[in-house]
Structure 1
Amino acid sequence: MERDESLKEETPIEAEVKEDEEFENISLEEDEITLLQNENLKLNNEIEALKERLLRTTAEYENYRKRTAKEKEGIYSDACEDVLKEMLPVLDNLERAMSVEGELEDLKKGIDMTLKQFKDSFNKLGIEEISTENGFDPKLHEAVMHVQDESFGPNQVVEIFLKGYKRGDKVIRYSMVKVAN
């Protein structure tokens, strides 16, 4: 009868050879383990370096965000201050005009001078009055009334209820107007 090879017993020499092979496999595995540990250590160092870099980048961004918010607030404060510096002398002259007693012509002359000063302040700030000479423009004017009148052309501004102002291309206040046809 033939015996199954898996059931046969090992001879002492075969056992010794098998043990030597297992030992060699173990030493190979130890070398692999050492290599893997070194690679793991290297990867952990890279991860720590990336974490440190991310932390620094996050801190830099947070500092940048705070700094720009502070600068933006400073710019707004400076702009308001510049506008007020231009407008306060006008207010002072209006208050002086109200306290002066005199003739109507003198009062009108004082108000005209104050209006000129006000317009000069606007010029220094780059603010200009919106023109209505070129007809109605919905980008610059707000039509609050409409009239049918053949003596005026189409979309012609007939009356200005409230003057509009702009600075550069930005409209500060739209002109309130009556438009014909």
Structure 2
Amino acid sequence: MTDYQDTEGIKKKLEEQEKTIEEYTNILKRLQADFENYVKRTDKEKEEFANYSNHKLVSKLLNVVDDFEKALELTKNNKEIADGLEIVYKQLNKLLQEEGVVQINAIGNKLDPFKHEVIDVINGNEDDVVIEELQKGYIMKNKVLRPSKVRIIKSGGKE
């Protein structure tokens, strides 16, 4: 065997090892990318689960808010009771705001079927404009918790 043949054999082995290294490097890069995607996906799933849990709890609290509003209306002639209820009502609203809950602005706006639930339609000269809010609606983190129950005006509606 000559030096030339030895050199060629070594070059061939070196090329094979370089290919093997490149294959392993590519596999490693894919595994690393897959792992990073896995971490991102699980983080997103955790966040979605937490948001879902919060949405469920906050949705239940909205009925309590409604009851407080009714109680405030009924006790407005009794200042002491109304003041006590008002304090708790403000704390509850502050808590909801801190969680990202926003009231849907319905009156005077065009009907949005994703945000409004039509309870009544009256005849008028405008189409699909909310004229009265029968129950407040709320959004949390761009998701409707509860649509506003509304009365709309519509040309050709009931008189």
Find out whether 1:176 has 2:145 as its counterpart. Answer: no
**C-alpha separation in 2, matches of 1:71 and 1:147:** 45
Structure-2 residue corresponding to 1:124:
98
Structure-1 residue corresponding to 2:18:
46
**C-alpha separation in 2, matches of 1:140 and 1:80:** 18
How far off its partner does 1:49 sit?
0.8
5+ residue gaps, structure 1 = 1-26, 98-103
Change (3 A) 1:80 1:113: farther
Three-state SS of the structure 2 residue aligned to 1:148 is: strand
TM-score, structure 1 length as denominator?
A: 0.52
Find out whether 1:141 has 2:115 as its counterpart. Answer: yes
5+ residue gaps, structure 2 = 69-74, 155-159
Percent sequence identity over matched residues? Answer: 13
**C-alpha separation in 1, matches of 2:118 and 2:49:** 35
- Pairing of 1:25-36 with structure 2 (within 5 A): none
Change (3 A) 1:63 1:165: same
Three-state SS of the structure 2 residue aligned to 1:147 is: strand
**C-alpha separation in 2, matches of 1:166 and 1:146:** 22
Residue-by-residue CA offset, 1:135-181 (whole Å, 9 max, x unaligned)? 2232653343452323x74322133343222246x142332322111
Three-state SS of the structure 1 residue aligned to 2:123 is: coil
How far off its partner does 1:76 sit?
5.3
Find out whether 1:155 has 2:134 as its counterpart. Answer: no
Please tell me the residue identity of whatever aligns with 1:154.
D
Change (3 A) 1:70 1:137: same
* RMSD across aligned positions (CA): 4.3
Change (3 A) 1:43 1:123: same
Change (3 A) 1:139 1:147: closer
Selected match of 1:59 from 26, 31, 35: 31
The structure showing larger relative contact order (alpha-carbon pairs under 8 Å, at least 6 residues apart) is 2
Three-state SS of the structure 1 residue aligned to 2:118 is: strand
How many residue pairs are counted as aligned between the two chains? 137
Three-state SS of the structure 2 residue aligned to 1:134 is: coil
Please tell me the residue identity of whatever aligns with 1:41.
K
Residue-by-residue CA offset, 1:47-82 (whole Å, 9 max, x unaligned)? 11112212322332343234334534554577689x
Note if contact 2:107-2:132 (Cα within 8 Å) is conserved in structure 1.
Answer: no
Note if contact 1:141-1:177 (Cα within 8 Å) is conserved in structure 2.
Answer: no
Change (3 A) 1:59 1:128: same
